[in-house]
Structure formats: structure tokens, C-alpha cells
Amino acid sequence: MIVFAREVYACRCGTDVPDDDPGASDLARRVRIERGSEADLALLDREHHDDAHLEELRGRLARSELWIVGRLDDRIVHYFWLTQQASCSYPSLPGCTFSLDADTGYGYDAWTHPELRGSGIRRRTFLEEMHLLKELGKRYEASFFVAYQLEGATRSLGKVGIVVEPVWRITLQRDRTLRFDPMLARDETMRPAPVANGQIIRGSPTAA
């Protein structure tokens, strides 16, 4: 789910990960992870997906983005999106756009039904994200985490061998410009794209 935040981390995760989550709950294991299609849009919970949202998702499918859904019985209770495009953006921060290496894919807009959050579904499907990208020849997945999510996500995903590495810290300044601070030295996985709103790139990498 994409939310507004003043502090966001652009991260990478290596796609060489274990096959499954040995500690997955029974509920998480019951969820079938499959590729979604336009016909599946009709199965989404309308309480959380209005007409405009469905049109946005339909547009992604028309652009050949990969939609992976989690089915529990006859319901879609989870999904995420993958692309192989050469760039990625955090939409709620205009100008927060990165160019990606050819061996890096982008995973975004994961959603789990509110009633089932915390059940381990997302951790298990995150593994599947890595597997799919590896099959597509990608060494890394690029993803965004807002600041308050990062520690918990790093801890949870680390339990199944997924290493979340912050590459850039992006903060919205008082004058509405963006500041990009590198977190890794000599990393070319993702690079800030030039923007017209006066982006700022400062500081030294915090890790060698």
C-alpha cells in the first residue's frame, strides 16, 4: 500500500532467498499465490477498491505489469505488483523517481485485507516476489518503505532470509524539495532521476 510520508527509504532486496517460510501460519499456507488477470478485478473487496482504483489497476494490466494475487477460498485477500521497467517512483512524493539497473525489478503496492494483516501472508508472498524476479533474471528487487515501516519490515523479512538494504533516504524538506541521502557506497542498483523541483543530493554514504 502506498501512503504519504515525509521520510521514505528506497531499498533493495536480493532475490536469492529460501524456497518458503518454514514458520508460516496455517492461514498463510492456505492462501494460493497466482497470477491475476482483468477478470479478477471483479473479485476485489469493493469496500477497499472504488471505481477509480479499479481503473488504475486495469491500466497497470494494460501496460503488462505483473499482478500476483493471493486467493483464500473464493476471495482475493492479498496482492502485489511487479514491473521490469527501467525506473520506479514513490507517487506520493513527486520527484521521488529512480532509474534502475537492468538486473533490478520493482515490486510495489502490496495489499492485504485488513482483517488478515499480521497473519504472515505478506511475508510468504514477499518470498514469491523474489522467486518471480529471479526467474526473470533479476538479482534485486527495488522497493520503498516509509520510515516507520522499515525496522519492522527488516526484522520480519529477515526471519525468512530476505535482506532489506536501504540504498537511499529521501526526505521532504520544508521548502517542498526532496533531499536524497545515499546509504550505501558505490551502489548502482538505483539512482535518483533528475527532476525539475530542485532535488537535493547531499551527504556521504553511511555504509562502505
Residue pair 76/33 in contact (Cβ under 8 Å)? The answer is: no
- Cα gap 41→38, rounded to integer Å: 6
Nearest to 128 by CA among 49, 13, 43: 13
**Taking the model in full, what pTM does it have?**
0.88
- Whether 1 is covered by a domain: the verdict is no
The number of distinct structural domains making up the chain is 1
Q: What is the CATH number of the domain that holds 180?
A: 3.40.630.30
- Whether 2 is covered by a domain: the verdict is no
Nearest to 14 by CA among 186, 191, 185, 158: 158
The three cell numbers of residue 117 are: 494483516
Domain with 182 in it: 7-201
pLDDT value at residue 1: 47
- Whether 129 is covered by a domain: the verdict is yes
Which string of b and e fits 107-138 if b means at least 16 CB within 10 Å? Answer: bbebbbbeebeebbbbbbbbbbbbbbbbeeeb
- Whether 152 is covered by a domain: the verdict is yes
| Residue 203: pLDDT over 60 | no
pLDDT tens-digit map of 139-189: 999 999 999 999 999 999 999 999 999 999 999 988 888 899 999 877 888
Q: What are phi and psi of 189, to 5 degrees?
A: -60, -45
